[in-house]
Amino acid sequence: MKGLMMHFPLTVPSILEYGNRVFPSKQVVTLLPNGSLHRYAFADLYRRSRRLSEVLRLRWNIAPGDRIATFAWNQYQHLELYYAIPGAGAVCHPLNIRLSVSQIAWIINDAQDKVIFIDASLVPVFEKVIPMLDHVPDFVIINADKDFKAGFRFMHYEDLELDTPATQDWVAADEDDACGMCYTTGTTGEPKGVLYSHRSTYLHAMSIMSPNAFNISMHDTALLIVPQFHVMAWGFPYVCILAGANMIMPSSHLQSQAIVQLIQQEKVTIANGVPAIWLQVLDYLKKNPPAEKLTLREFFVGGSAVPESLLQGFDELFGIRGVHAWGMTETSPLGTISRLQPHHERLSPDAQRKIRSKQGIEMPAVELRLIKEDGTIAARDGETTGEFEIRGAWVAGRYYNSEAHSDQAFVDGWFKTGDVGTIDPDGYMLITDRKKDLIKSGGEWISSIALETALVAHPSIKEACVIAVPDAKWAERPLACIVIEDGTTVSPDDLKTFLKGSFASFQVPDQYVVMQEIPKTSVGKLNKKALRKLYQEGELKPVK
């Protein structure tokens, strides 16, 4: 027998409808790239997004399911697009501005984005992407002066007349329709598209609001540091509207001084960011202690493992609690979060931090399991190691346009994360290793296989193997181990110049080790484990 409850579609526009009805005067504050401060209320965000949604349909004839991309910072116009695009039945596709030009072009070609909204400050990067596109999208530039010039035809965002009242309602979407899309970096260089649904986005936003998760309410003011192009800013553009939390958008101002100033000026209570950001903020605060205790109550940190020292620094020096979380583009992202349970409270602060620096327990509506090398399920004993598999209400079921990758990653209704570790009897996940051949530096991925392939294309290089090595600032950096052809020489500077053409500059290794031979496994593969061990033992002497 079916239940007799109403069918109320969980859609992205209904999030904003709620925010407008219940919290119309809550604020969105943007520090724009030009340094000026823009403030308006949720009611303005609602009004302009509804009009933008109508303009998209009238001007570009957007059909349900069309992809519309953004190339922008965290800013109020980007929030308008987050609501207007799904509100027009289309898919909001934020492009990662930090990728290399060829990766960005590859992604746009794969998604076949119909219109692309670009912040004026990012046009110089985007101009290099355009010649590589296989179709001709329309371009709209945000924050451009009247006499702004670009090497391509565009229209001004400000000319879309968003202050004119909308006459049409949102497009009525099915809750299972796609509303958003983000690409994740592939090991072999081919990114994979994850297509979020209205329903998964709504459920994720409601769940991360809860006390065991980010604990967000109408008493909060949130600083959105995680970029809108990283897993939809971890769902903050949606949860803040549902919770009635003010939103502070830093756009391109991501230096520690600007972040601390925004916290002080706007009385920020919560914020999200990768460890590299919080390590820099901690360092800045140590050197520039604030005259008054910061209003920041908690910060959420994930994307890479969190060093205990980061949590300790904020705990002891500033009374601010870092909350560690784990997730992936494929998991919307929140999979686990590490808050203490009541029985942990009798432990010493150090013992508590050991638990807080684990990746944490599963969210409701998400299930994790650990698979051992022999394919069986590992015990949750905190000792047996395996690969984490996950399934749940906001976990991807397939990749967009990528059958081969999907068949590998999604098996028997579970998604293979590529992360390796343990789960303890209290349910806390601890990541100890990564199966995927990727390096995560400052929250951005670097494919070691792509670097190896590029390096061996250099005439002086016979063999190359790239491993992740720990880095105090960026969490990880790539280290390239190379074997040089007899009778030739090559310097790190030559290699950096050689790689710069095909990789974003942060992806180019700054450290190199010349070896006689790269260690191999019994089946003749590059033995990265052995290289990592040699590095830990101080046996590899990198040159810069």
Whether 330 is a known active-site residue: answer yes
Number of residues lying near ligand AMP (CB under 6 A): 20
Whether 445 is a known active-site residue: answer yes
Q: How far apart are the first and last CA of the chain?
A: 69
Task: Give backbone dihedrals phi and psi of 137, rounded to 5 degrees, phi first.
Answer: -75, 165
Q: Which residue has the tokens 């949102």?
A: 170
* Catalytic position from the list 80, 330, 444, 476: 330
Half-sphere exposure of 107 (CA within 13 A, CB side): 30
Of residues 420 through 439, those in contact with ligand AMP by CB under 6 A are 431, 434
Check binding of 184 to ligand AMP (CB under 6 A).
yes
Check binding of 332 to ligand AMP (CB under 6 A).
no
What is the full DSSP assignment across 108-126? HHHHT-SEEEEEGGGHHHH
Of residues 23 through 62, those in contact with ligand AMP by CB under 6 A are none
Residue with nearest beta carbon to ligand AMP: 329
Helix (H) or strand (E) holding 179: strand 178-184
Half-sphere exposure of 99 (CA within 13 A, CB side): 27
Q: Which residue has the tokens 């746009």?
A: 108
Check binding of 419 to ligand AMP (CB under 6 A).
yes
Angle (CA) 181 191 10, round 5°:
15
Binding mask of the shown chain, residues 266 to 305, with x at each position contacting ligand AMP by CB under 6 A: ------------------------------------xxxx
Check binding of 200 to ligand AMP (CB under 6 A).
no
* Catalytic position from the list 70, 184, 185, 269: 184
Helix (H) or strand (E) holding 167: none
Q: Name, in order, each residue with C-beta under 8 angstroms of 528's C-beta and a sequence gap of 6 or more.
A: 437, 448, 465, 467
Check binding of 103 to ligand AMP (CB under 6 A).
no
Q: Which is nearer to ligand AMP, 14 or 304 (CB)?
A: 304
Of residues 473 through 532, those in contact with ligand AMP by CB under 6 A are none
Check binding of 231 to ligand AMP (CB under 6 A).
yes
Q: Which is nearer to ligand AMP, 245 or 328 (CB)?
A: 328
366 near 415, Cβ under 8 Å?
no
Whether 440 is a known active-site residue: answer yes
| Shortest distance in whole angstroms from residue 417 CB to ligand AMP | 5
Pick the binder of ligand AMP from 246, 256, 280, 329 (CB under 6 A). 329
100 near 132, Cβ under 8 Å?
no
Whether 60 is a known active-site residue: answer no
Residue in 118, 108, 113, 115 with CA at minimum distance from that of residue 150? 118
Q: Which residues are catalytic?
A: 184, 330, 440, 445
The footprint of ligand AMP (CB under 6 A) covers: 184, 231, 302-305, 324, 326-329, 333, 359, 417-419, 431, 434, 440, 445
